[in-house]
Amino acid sequence: MKNAPLTFLPEVADALAAGKPVVALESTIITHGMPWPQNMEMAQTVEQDIRDGGAVPATIAVMGGRIHIGLSPETLTELAQTPNARKLSRADIAACIVSGDTGATTVAATMIAAELAGIAVFATGGIGGVHRGAETSFDISADLAELSQTAVTVVAAGAKAILDIPKTLEVLETNGVPVIAYGQSEFPAFWAQHSGIVAPLRFDSAAEIAAAHLMRAHLGLMGGQLVANPIPAADEIPLPEIMPVIEQALTEAAAQGVAAKSVTPFLLDRIFTLTGGRSLTANIALVRNNARLGAEIAVEISKAQTKA
């Protein structure tokens, strides 16, 4: 979109113009997912992981009436210290741009911005999904609908274990979203490598994932694909350990009437406290792991496009 209000970091603009690999990064993990200063340290580390993998990082946020595709160190620091940044999805990204507020992009909003900018790969922590009790609350993340219509490959450690994973996978299947487990047959559960649920698809190399991304474009298929990349074994909190903590956090959220966009930040904060900070350590490890795989996939897409 030529008229989209995009502001590119020069490093990102140069890479895209030259056909070099670029990996998009969301910003809600910075503003809503981790406390200062861990959020800033994590953001810098993840960007460096992508550079080390041969790609250029592009952290995305809305600031000053523009969608920023890549943030300078100064702007990244400013965002990481913004206490009331808006949490943006498809429904409110335009309103935030118009109002001039600072907004952090969720998976859905980051996918929209990445596609506008011409970025094929996006690395995140975990996607949103179907919340428990959605049969009565209808609380389903816009991330799932976005995956069905926006042509970006999203690398995540599965869906957050606070969600209803079976229902999340059902919605993705209904909407024709390829769900690819990387290096294992089970769908991962964010902090845990294994959910006990077999993933619909499996690939064991970044080259295969890149080829599938390009083939979808050749076939004219709408939407992106979800790459479920399990957290490294050394960093995981196995499901039997994390589930009682999640159940306690969910009970507290219900008792306090926490709802809508406030649910996930509340749960993540309580899980952080209840695990003595272990969940944050795991979160950082899985985000870095996804960034490294995202860089590999972006490099393979760039190679394939150069050959073509």
Contact yes or no for 246/267 (Cβ under 8 A): yes
Q: Which residue's structure tokens are 């620091």?
A: 77
Alpha carbons 168 and 205: distance in angstroms, whole number: 25
Is 115 an active-site residue? no
Contact yes or no for 226/290 (Cβ under 8 A): no
How wide is the angle at C-alpha 260 spanned by C-alphas 257 and 263, nearest 5°?
Answer: 65
Pairing label, strands 56-63, 22-25: parallel
Q: Give burial (CB, 10 Å; 0-12/13-18/19+) of 218.
A: exposed
Contact yes or no for 171/144 (Cβ under 8 A): yes
Contact yes or no for 298/22 (Cβ under 8 A): yes
Please tell me which residue in 87, 146, 160, 186 is annotated as part of the active site.
160
Please tell me which residue in 26, 47, 146, 296 is annotated as part of the active site.
26
Contact yes or no for 216/225 (Cβ under 8 A): yes
Tokens (6 digits) for 17: 């113009």
* DSSP string across 218-272: HHT--S-EEEE-PPPGGG---HHHHHHHHHHHHHHHHHHT--GGGHHHHHHHHHH
User: Which one, of 58, 53, 54, 43, lies nearest residue 6 by Cα?
Assistant: 58
Contact yes or no for 231/193 (Cβ under 8 A): yes
Contact yes or no for 244/275 (Cβ under 8 A): no
Is 208 an active-site residue? no
Cα dist from 100 to 5, 63, 74, 117, whole Å: 12, 7, 19, 20
Show which residues are catalytic.
26, 160
